[in-house]
Amino acid sequence: MRTLIQLEVMRSLRNRRYLMFTVLYPALLYVFFISAYSGGNVAGGIPAKSYFMVSMATFGAVGAVLTGNAQRIALERKSGWVRQLRLTALPGRAYTFGKIAACAVTTLPAIAVVFAIGAIEGVKLSAGQWLGLAAVLWLGSFVFAALGVALGYAAQPEAVQPLVMIIYMLMAAFGGTWFPVSGSLKNFARFNPVYLYNQLASFVQPGHSMNTTAAAGMAGFLAVFVAGAAYLYRKDTKQA
Amino acid sequence: MGRMSTVTAGPRADGEVAAFRRVSKSYGRVKAVNGLDLVLRPGETVALLGPNGAGKSSSLDLLLGLREPDQGSVSLFGGTPRAAIEAGRVGAMLQSGGLMGDVKVRELVKFACDVHPRGHRVDEVLANAGITELADRKVDKLSGGQEQRVRFALAVAGANDLIVLDEPTTGMDVSVRQQFWASMRAQADAGRTVLFATHYLEEADSIADRVLVLHRGRLIADGSSAEIKAKAGARRISFELHPADGPGEETVLRTLPGTVSLDVTGRADGVRTVRIRSSDADAGVAALYRAGLYPRGLEVTSLGLEQAFLTITGEQDAADSTEEDAR
């Protein structure tokens, strides 16, 4: 199984378009937001450079794993690569594990690049906070990796791209990626995994500790997405 | 529920590579495979023939465990298809088998060698499949025929006992096709069992030592290529009867052994041209002389597997429609 995972990671890192979209795009947006707010705060009093450092890191990470998994799986189901793999001695789950592992590796540059820009722009955190924040955001991305797998098995390649984009953009828009969620929108945001994902980072703000409600919510979404992915995977295996 | 996927073992299993036992599979109302009973023995090179939609690919899917039969059971090396694949005993090249993108040919073939329990060395596999010169090309940038050869490399990446190929030479040009069959023969000579589906009848004729004809999900012929031709009455006897040599009763012609069809045309000068399609030309010609006829310009020619194939499937169609009419 290790061979397959290596191959999956390598081809993801080799895919330039993928890296542009998941690493460069959020980084550029981050720079744009910092200059647009010119050192000010977002609503709620958090400095824009801190707020968008988190939201752009999560934006990049979610984009990396959603599009990476969903599109690849949908395409490879259609091309027959998934069938071909079933003719090897590898267990069926190896394919999905390979995809998720590749995602886990590709989210790291997305997070690291945005953090580096943040540090240069003057975001001040302790070493422990930097590491903790990176770890939390990295772990959180697995929730979306599972969603990506589920979507990849749910739809055909022609349908999956617009589907992923709509879900991704809606979750981002109402999850605090572009602006802080406030007022009545918060009632809905509780059911939005991107919002919960962003909330995981709140422990680095002064006077905050780990948001356990958000962490529990993320765990719940992870369970739901994994179950969905497993169900759709089995259904697909029977048809193929 | 008659859903018994794959249980077979016991003493018989030793001599059989693969077995279908009363296997049926439907997709909606279409019976893709209908009561298939079949055993493959070690070392055979078997061609699976049939028109489009005859159930060839479906049968191979069932054989490889990619699908479960509705009825009956499929076994590979006395166990489940999955167990045989995990033990590295089966290599397969499917029409619908895709390749991983964004990687080089060598990387993909190396992967196949690595995951095979008895994998060969990469360079060896590349050479056997004739793709050494493609090793550093990106998989996404290959032509159809080149892709086929990479698929073949994946199928022979390890020491398999059975190789299954679905329409392997589709998209290959003539010279590549010959190379391909040369490497295939090397596999068969090494004692491997080879099962291939094809619609190129000359491939079946020249390579297989056993030919299976599938039609509408049923096995309608099973034998050597010569036997299949004989079954179809696949030899033509033609000669002339001259009035000077005696009357030559047509009733004699009708009762010749092995005659499948008879065509007699007469000319004004009394010379009759006789064309017989026969399933047993040797006996037919012997009986001709025994009956005292003197055939002139006697020729016995083979009609080829293609004609035999068309005859057999055509007869089956006719039989099926009579059966339907009778209902």
Does residue B316 sit within a domain?
no
Higher pLDDT, B21 or B174: B21
Please tell me the distance in Å from B186's CA to the nearest CA on chain A: 22
Chain A residues with beta carbon closer than 8 angstroms to that of B85: 87-89
Give B5's pLDDT tier (boundaries 50, 70, 90): very low
Which residues on adjacent β-strands are paired with residue A115?
none
Q: Residues 201 to 230 of B: which have CB under 8 A from any A CB?
A: none
Kindly state whether residues B148 and B19 are assigned to the same domain.
yes
Choose, out of A84, A93, A234, the residue to mutate when testing the contact with B (most B CBs < 10 Å): A84
pLDDT at A68 over 60: yes
Kindly state whether residues B217 and B167 are assigned to the same domain.
yes
Residue A62 contacts residue A141 (beta carbons within 8 Å): yes
Kindly state whether residues B72 and B179 are assigned to the same domain.
yes
Name the burial class of residue B166, with classes exposed (0-12), middle (13-18) and buried (19+) by CB atoms within 10 angstroms of its CB: buried
Spell A86-108 as b/e; 16+ CB within 10 A means b: bbbbbeeebbbebbbbbbbbbbb
- A3, A80, A89 ranked by CB distance to B96: nearest: A80
- B100, B108, B116 ranked by CB distance to A89: nearest: B116
Q: Does A14 touch chain B (CB under 8 A)?
A: yes
Kindly state whether residues B247 and B200 are assigned to the same domain.
no
Predicted pLDDT of residue B327: 62
Distance, CA of A12 to CA of B120 (rounded, Å): 27
* Count: domains in chain B: 2
Does residue B310 sit within a domain?
no
For residue B228, what are the CA distances in angstroms to A233, B221, B231? 43, 7, 5
Q: Mention every residue, 6+ apart, whose C-beta is less than 8 A from residue A180.
A: A42, A43, A44, A46, A51
Choose, out of A9, A11, A88, the residue to mutate when testing the contact with B (most B CBs < 10 Å): A88
Kindly state whether residues B123 and B270 are assigned to the same domain.
no
Give A240's pLDDT tier (boundaries 50, 70, 90): low
Kindly state whether residues B140 and B250 are assigned to the same domain.
no
Is the complex ipTM higher than 0.90?
A: no
Give B121's pLDDT tier (boundaries 50, 70, 90): very high
Residue B119 contacts residue B112 (beta carbons within 8 Å): yes
Alpha helices in chain B (DSSP H): 56-63, 81-86, 105-115, 122-128, 144-155, 174-189, 201-207, 225-231, 250-254, 281-290, 304-326
Kindly state whether residues B251 and B120 are assigned to the same domain.
no
Place of tokens 């295996």: A237
Does residue B4 sit within a domain?
no
Does residue B206 sit within a domain?
yes
Give B13's pLDDT tier (boundaries 50, 70, 90): very low
How does the average pLDDT of chain A come out, rounded?
88
Task: Write the single-letter amino acid at A74.
Answer: A
* Count: domains in chain A: 1
pLDDT at B50 over 60: yes
Determine whether the interchain pair B92/A7 forms a contact, defined as Cβ–Cβ distance below 8 Å: no
Kindly state whether residues B127 and B79 are assigned to the same domain.
yes
Chain B residue with minimal CA distance to A94? B115
Residue B65 contacts residue B42 (beta carbons within 8 Å): no
Does residue B63 sit within a domain?
yes
| Least reliable range by pLDDT among A14-18, A128-132, B70-74, B144-148 | A14-18
Chain B residue with minimal CA distance to A10? B103
Instruction: Specify whether the backbone of B239 is left (phi greater than 0), alpha (psi in -120 to 50) or beta.
Output: beta
- B68, B86, B111 ranked by CB distance to A4: nearest: B111
Predicted pLDDT of residue B11: 38
pLDDT at B9 over 50: no
Alpha helices in chain A (DSSP H): 2-14, 16-19, 25-37, 48-79, 81-86, 93-120, 127-154, 157-173, 185-189, 193-199, 212-239
pLDDT at B257 over 70: yes
Predicted pLDDT of residue A55: 92
Which residues on adjacent β-strands are paired with residue B261?
B277
Predicted pLDDT of residue B122: 95
Predicted pLDDT of residue B211: 92
Query: DSSP per residue over B190-249, as a string?
Result: TT-EEEEE-S-HHHHHHH-SEEEEEETTEEEEEE-HHHHHHHTT-EEEEEEE-GGG----
Q: Does B112 touch chain A (CB under 8 A)?
A: yes
Distance, CA of B149 to CA of B115 (rounded, Å): 19
| Mean pLDDT score, B84-105 | 90
HEC-encoded secondary structure of A136-202 = HHHHHHHHHHHHHHHHHHHCCHHHHHHHHHHHHHHHHHCCCCCCCCCCCHHHHHCCCHHHHHHHHHH
Give B8's pLDDT tier (boundaries 50, 70, 90): very low
Torsion angle defined by CA atoms of residues A145, A147, A148 and A149, in that order, rounded to the nearest 10 degrees? 90
- A10, A81, A87 ranked by CB distance to B92: nearest: A87
- A82, A90, A238 ranked by CB distance to B115: nearest: A90
Chain A residues with beta carbon closer than 8 angstroms to that of B125: none
Model pLDDT for residues A170-220, shown as the tens digit of each residue: 999 888 888 888 888 888 888 899 999 998 888 888 778 888 889 999 999
Question: Could you give the percent of chain B with pLDDT greater than 90?
Answer: 44
Q: Which domain holds residue B176?
A: 11-223
The CATH code of the domain that includes B75 is: 3.40.50.300
Predicted pLDDT of residue B255: 84
Predicted pLDDT of residue B79: 94
| DSSP state, residue A80 | T
Model pLDDT for residues B123-174, shown as the tens digit of each residue: 999 998 889 999 999 998 998 888 989 999 999 999 999 999 998 888 788 8
Six token digits for residue A73: 């799986």
Q: Residues 78 to 97 of B: which have CB under 8 A from any A CB?
A: 85-88, 90-92, 94, 96-97
* Secondary structure (3-state) at B143: coil
Kindly state whether residues B26 and B154 are assigned to the same domain.
yes
Q: Does B115 touch chain A (CB under 8 A)?
A: yes
Give B6's pLDDT tier (boundaries 50, 70, 90): very low
- A7, A79, A87 ranked by CB distance to B85: nearest: A87
Q: Which domain holds residue A126?
A: 2-239
Predicted pLDDT of residue A111: 92
Which value, in Å, is the radius of gyration of the alpha carbons in chain A?
A: 18
pLDDT at B75 over 90: yes
Determine whether the interchain pair B96/A83 forms a contact, defined as Cβ–Cβ distance below 8 Å: yes
Kindly state whether residues B112 and B187 are assigned to the same domain.
yes
Six token digits for residue B163: 């190789």
| Mean pLDDT score, B45-61 | 90
Distance in Å from the first CA to the final CA of chain A: 21
Residue B289 contacts residue B271 (beta carbons within 8 Å): no
How does the average pLDDT of chain B come out, rounded?
86
Does residue B228 sit within a domain?
no
The CATH code of the domain that includes B279 is: 3.30.70.980
Q: Does B140 touch chain A (CB under 8 A)?
A: no
Higher pLDDT, A53 or B248: A53
Chain A residue with minimal CA distance to B118? A89
pLDDT at A11 over 50: yes
Which residues on adjacent β-strands are paired with residue B91?
B163
Q: Does A104 touch chain B (CB under 8 A)?
A: no
Determine whether the interchain pair A81/B99 forms a contact, defined as Cβ–Cβ distance below 8 Å: yes
Q: Residues 80 to 99 of A: which have CB under 8 A from any B CB?
A: 80-84, 86-90
Kindly state whether residues B270 and B206 are assigned to the same domain.
no
Q: Any long-range contacts for B224-230 (C-beta under 8 Å, 24+ apart)?
A: B225/B305, B228/B305, B228/B308, B228/B309, B228/B312, B229/B302, B229/B303, B229/B304, B229/B305, B229/B308, B230/B279, B230/B280
Q: Does B43 touch chain A (CB under 8 A)?
A: no
pLDDT at B38 over 60: yes
Predicted pLDDT of residue A137: 93
Predicted pLDDT of residue B326: 65
| Mean pLDDT score, B116-129 | 93
Kindly state whether residues B195 and B260 are assigned to the same domain.
no
Which residues on adjacent β-strands are paired with residue B76?
B18, B79
Predicted pLDDT of residue B48: 94
Q: Does A79 touch chain B (CB under 8 A)?
A: yes
